[in-house]
Structures are given as structure tokens and as C-alpha cells.
């Protein structure tokens, strides 16, 4: 790693620590209180820990698993000193996430693909409820790809809200990547179709398609998403290559409900969890990693263009449970 890489890594770590500050200080201050005057990890400590994890939106099922793991570890290794609890938590939670899913800690793999001798783009469709951060995440994602020397085209498929197309255009200007838009009221499937066509004609590496996130019934959601996917498949077989579901971490358990609804409605290949900064509910990321077998690929830790990070379980859990200083 060169000197630039080193500083970039340091900056990412600072953004992560900063972004998780609210969740972290809420967990650690309560943990500190629970452990006050205690030297041994006993059942009382585990009870307190259970409550702390549940109220940090880790979720009941996942919390029970974590407590069981800690209890086993304590009895097996005779690790009973309370000063080791944060270390045990980091170790066991990371291990639990790693056992459930294989996150690669890398950006979406964008292979050079050909169809009938022509280069074709890697297509990412972005889905999720209104307001979770889809458009923002698309902008940040486009920036990441651009930094890696890839050519990116955005498709403005949220045609239901006047401001939606405009907002994506602002991101396209900010990042310096083109956008394909057809204004409002056009069917999202039409935009998706045209964007991929343009992606092929223009020889782009990546096409990222925004979609509308109207709260709707499961059947409608399924129909809408499948229409868009069908249109994509018509212009380029195998498209979309990724369906990225964006969830707002600050909504806590609600994010889990949304993940359930979307994964039942369509095949989701990756998750992005946004707005970890400014919430004490960051524990939900752990619950989602445990409950779904879909990798959390990205996390949003701020509104800035470089506030989208690759999710790395060790770093995330490390930042969450390590006291400063
Ligand atoms: P969409 O409706 O799903 O497209 O959501 P938007 O991309 O429009 O985002 C909704 C709001 O959330 C905007 O004000 C964004 O700036 C904000 N937002 C998105 N991601 C993050 C994040 O990681 N941190 C913070 N603090 N705000 C975010
Ligand atoms: Mg949007």
C-alpha cells in the first residue's frame, strides 16, 4: 500500500468511528454502568448485556445467540473477567457474522463482459423504500467506481416523484458521470431499458439504475420490480447483475421488516445500510447480517460523496465495541 492508500485507510477508519459514535457511546456507557463494581462476568452481567443489545436494535433472536456464545465462551475458557467482555463481544460477533455469510470486503466485482463480440456493462439495480438513501448511495457508488477508473452511466428510474430525477442529476454533475433520464411519468422499465441500451452503445463498464420506492402491497412491488427486470433482460440477457437493496439503519427493526418484504418480492443480491451516523440503532447491522444470507456490501456513514464504505465485519464490530483511548 502506498502513502496515499495509507491515508485513505486512516480516513475511512476515522469516518467509520465517527459514523458509529452514537451507537457506540450508547452501548459502551450502558455497558460501563452494568459492569461497575463487578469483576466477574456472571448471569447478572449477561442479563444487562442482553438488554443493552436488544435496545441497540440488534434484535431479539440475534441477541440471544450472542449471549449464548458469550456464556459458552466464559464457561469454556474461564474468561470471567469483566475487563475482557468487550474483547469477547468483538470476537464472538465477528465470528457469528462470518459463519453466516461470506462478505468479500470488496466493491462489486465488475467483470469485462462481452455479448456477440461487444463489450456490455455490469448492471446494478438499486431498490428500497422512499427516503432510505437510494439516490445518495447511487451517487457515492458512482464516485467509487469512477475513482477506480471505470466508466459509469446512471439511469433515472424513479419517475414517480418530481424531485427524484433532479436529485440524481445533481449527483451525476457532482460525480461527473452521465445520466440517462426521461423525466417523470415514464414507466421505470422504459428508463431501465434505454439506460442499458445506452450503456451498451456507449461501451460503459457500469450502469446503475435508480428506482421508485413507493410503499405498496407485496404483489404490486413484485410486479413492478419484475417488469423492470424483464425490460433489462430483454436488452441484455443476464441483466441486472446485481440488485442492491438500500436500508436506512436509523429505522432500526423497521429496516429488518423492509428487508423481509423486498427479499420476498425479488431476488436481492446485496444490501447497503445507510445513515449509521446520527443513530444509536447501528446494532441493526448485526441483526441483519445474522438474519439474512445476503451480504451487507456497503454502509453509509454520512452525506458526503466519500461516506460510503465497504462493510467489513471485523472493522465494524471492532469500532463498535472498542472504547476510545
Ligand atoms: P431515496 O428516496 O431512497 O432515494 O433517498 P435519498 O438518497 O434521497 O436520501 C434521503 C436523505 O437521506 C437525503 O437527505 C440524504 O442526504 C440522506 N442520506 C442518505 N444516506 C445517508 C447517510 O449515510 N448518512 C446521512 N446522515 N444521511 C444520508
Ligand atoms: Mg431517490
The 10s digit of each residue's pLDDT in 90-125 is 999 999 999 988 778 888 988 888 877 888 999 999
pLDDT exceeds cutoff 50 at 147: yes
Residue with cell 439474512: 292
How many angstroms separate the alpha carbon of residue 274 from the centre of ligand 2? 13
How many angstroms separate the alpha carbon of residue 136 from the centre of ligand 1? 5
Contact criterion met (CB below 8 Å) for 283 and 58:
yes
pLDDT exceeds cutoff 50 at 325: no
Neighbours of 315 (CB within 10 A): 18
**Ligand 1 within 6 A of 133 CB?**
yes
pLDDT digits (tens, 9 = 90+) for 152-168: 999 999 999 889 999 99
* Cα–Cα distance, 189 to 287 (Å, whole number): 33
Q: What pLDDT was estimated at residue 113?
A: 81
Q: What is the dihedral of CA 179, 184, 187, 190, to 10 degrees?
A: -30
* Cα–Cα distance, 204 to 244 (Å, whole number): 19
Q: What pLDDT was estimated at residue 148?
A: 94
Averaged pLDDT for residues 37-57: 94
Residue whose CA lies nearest to ligand 1 atom number 18: 133
Q: Which range is least confidently modeled, 185-194, 207-216, 256-265, 309-318?
A: 207-216
**Ligand 1 within 6 A of 139 CB?**
no
Q: Mean pLDDT of all residues in the chain?
A: 93
Contact criterion met (CB below 8 Å) for 214 and 160:
yes
Amino acid at each position: 500500500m502506498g502513502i496515499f492508500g495509507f491515508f485513505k485507510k486512516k480516513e475511512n477508519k476515522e469516518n467509520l468511528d465517527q459514523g458509529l459514535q452514537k451507537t457506540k457511546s450508547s452501548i459502551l456507557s450502558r455497558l460501563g454502568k452494568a459492569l461497575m463494581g463487578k469483576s466477574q462476568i456472571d448471569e447478572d452481567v449477561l442479563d444487562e448485556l442482553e438488554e443493552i443489545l436488544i435496545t441497540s436494535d440488534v434484535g431479539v433472536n440475534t441477541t440471544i445467540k450472542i449471549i449464548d456464545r458469550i456464556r459458552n465462551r466464559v464457561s469454556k475458557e474461564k474468561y470471567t473477567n469483566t475487563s475482557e467482555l468487550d474483547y469477547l463481544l468483538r470476537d464472538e460477533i465477528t465470528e457469528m457474522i462470518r459463519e453466516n455469510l461470506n462478505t468479500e470486503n470488496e466493491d462489486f466485482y465488475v467483470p469485462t463482459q462481452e455479448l456477440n463480440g461487444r463489450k456490455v456493462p455490469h448492471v446494478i439495480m438499486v431498490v428500497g423504500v422512499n427516503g432510505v438513501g437510494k439516490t445518495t448511495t447511487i451517487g457515492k457508488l458512482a464516485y467509487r467506481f469512477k475513482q477506480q477508473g471505470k466508466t459509469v452511466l446512471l439511469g433515472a428510474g424513479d419517475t414517480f416523484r418530481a424531485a427524484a430525477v433532479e436529485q440524481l442529476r445533481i449527483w451525476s454533475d457532482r460525480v461527473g458521470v452521465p445520466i440517462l433520464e426521461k423525466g417523470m411519468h415514464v414507466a421505470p422499465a422504459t428508463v431501465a431499458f434505454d439506460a442499458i441500451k445506452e450503456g451498451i452503445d456507449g461501451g460503459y463498464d457500469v450502469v446503475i439504475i435508480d428506482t421508485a420506492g413507493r410503499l405498496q402491497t407485496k404483489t404490486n412491488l413484485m410486479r413492478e420490480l419484475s417488469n423492470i427486470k424483464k425490460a433489462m433482460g430483454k436488452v441484455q440477457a443476464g441483466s441486472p447483475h446485481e440488485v442492491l437493496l438500500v436500508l436506512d439503519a436509523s429505522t432500526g427493526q423497521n429496516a429488518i421488516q423492509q428487508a423481509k418484504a423486498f427479499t420476498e418480492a425479488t431476488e436481492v443480491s446485496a444490501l447497503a445500510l445507510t445513515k449509521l451516523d446520527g443513530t444509536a440503532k447501528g446494532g441493526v447491522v448485526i441483526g441483519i447480517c445474522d438474519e439474512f444470507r445476503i451480504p451487507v456490501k456497503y454502509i453509509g456513514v454520512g452525506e458526503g460523496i466519500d461516506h460510503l464504505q465497504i462493510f467489513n465485519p471485523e472493522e465494524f464490530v471492532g469500532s463498535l465495541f472498542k472504547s476510545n483511548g
